[in-house]
Structure 1
């Protein structure tokens, strides 16, 4: 494992200094890209898993919080500018990555802001090793992938995953599910609230991210529920039991029904701080000012302004 400087200008970055973190998984070396901005105590920003996931979606939050922290945003393995190899993407891979990344890159307990599916992985690591995090803020936390959320049987979803991974038919299906019109539809349905923000240039930029070599493998695992770190709400809530790290949950008031129920249940647990703000599953990207303002006191800083 090593950390090597790449550049300070990347296509899907936050405007800081980009580096790469190399680590081994099942006898194969994977390259993960992360980026730092600002100075001060470290603050890790983890983007949500999605077909278009990149650390860039955390750029609004990063710029608002960089005056107070050394903000570090990372592309999950298989997403963004990290390696997109055709490995078996599963929870164990991401659990292994997160623990190794945090303990290798940082030498003090860090605050973390995790969006979407990142939530369960952060909570699992906090249970296993409470000393790595000082504070945890979860933004629109989820645990269930899109197909399981739609009620698709997990065995069927697993078959869909293997089809998408296949060389020819998989590429065709992936292309059909990442055309700009479909991406725009999905954003309007449950990611963004304000459709006016979904400009042609915005969607084209997201589409470009989906067209990278090997781009279909990790998203296929996410969409079919194969990256779900837990398998029911009870397991999700159990991750907070006996949690010794301060926890805050930020909820998008327009989140889809099933996801909103999970967020509300998590936020209702004893000792958990809560904020309900405008937005849906992409609120960390769509409304970074509101999110930063809400989590600022929790992170121990003055209210954040532009």
Structure 2
């Protein structure tokens, strides 16, 4: 193949990819909040961080922190948010770079999320906290880093400190950050087939519990402007937390409860059993669920929250 033909093909291929990227972004609509309630903005380091608030402010405050993935948002708590608002003053932010929050093209890091979690929780007087996956590690790290920060109760859902390559892969992060190729790669990762695959293979035991509307919302949130930058750090390992979960739990002033899905594969139940045994804290296992037991079994989850926050939670299966 002549150099002229090679260059012509590259230009043509780049033009097609740019057109596809533009089309996908133009197809995405303005993202509505994932949860019902009052919509607010928390100004943090020049970013507008969106959060939803519901329930009586006189009730105990409960902050809910979603996990991180290519389509992450506070909508992870959509199945339980309204019910929990009956008894608690519930608050659920979209983490920086996700959902309705600002998504500047930063090189996102675990330190950034730990500091955000610490600053956000400090806005409330000893809130109870539910934190999912990597956000559980950020919460533990924030509590360990600030002796003045405290929580009333803590429920950790499939907590992990490592969810990407270890050590982090810089070239992979920079590849996803590229304006043309990176956007194209992320559009593949965040395509509807990919989102469905992740949900079926990692997130949910029964895909029948995932509505088409929710799959559409996940696609929409993953195709907002600058949507790829925070996931680029996640995919490449730069959102892995540098802490030992057992040591972090041991340093707490409050005993957390750990929740796990029996069929979880990315972070298998064996890790949960080991963590709970070494930290000597309650482990609750939901059958027929993976990484999102609170979505698959919302009634059982709200019961667990009531038990945990009243001091009645114990090790066991649901």
Distance 1:187 1:125, change over 3 A: same
Unmatched runs of 5 consecutive residues or more in structure 2: 1-30, 314-318
Would you say how many aligned residue pairs link Structure 1 and Structure 2? 279
Distance 2:248 2:186 in 1: 33
- Bigger Rg, which one: 2
| Superposed displacement of residue 257, structure 1 | 5.8
Partner of 2:110: 91
Partner of 1:281: 291
1:72 correspondence with 2:82: no
| Superposed displacement of residue 263, structure 1 | 1.8
Distance 2:296 2:242 in 1: 27
Q: Alpha-carbon deviations, 1:37-64, whole Å to 9, x = none?
A: 1011100000111111111111222112
| Superposed displacement of residue 271, structure 1 | 4.1
Q: Alpha-carbon deviations, 1:177-233, whole Å to 9, x = none?
A: 1111111111110101102234443322211111100000001111221111127xx
Unmatched runs of 5 consecutive residues or more in structure 1: 1-9
- Per residue, is there more strand in 1 or in 2? 1
SS of the residue aligned with 1:187?
helix
8 Å contact kept, 2:202–2:266: no
| Superposed displacement of residue 266, structure 1 | 1.7
Picking from 251, 263, 268, the partner of 2:260 is 251
Distance 1:181 1:44, change over 3 A: same
| Superposed displacement of residue 246, structure 1 | 2.0
Partner of 1:5: none
1:169 correspondence with 2:172: no
Picking from 65, 87, 91, the partner of 1:46 is 65
| Superposed displacement of residue 23, structure 1 | 1.5
8 Å contact kept, 1:47–1:53: yes
SS of the residue aligned with 2:79?
helix
Distance 1:142 1:270 in 2: 14
1:224 correspondence with 2:236: yes
Partner of 1:295: 305
Distance 1:289 1:37 in 2: 18
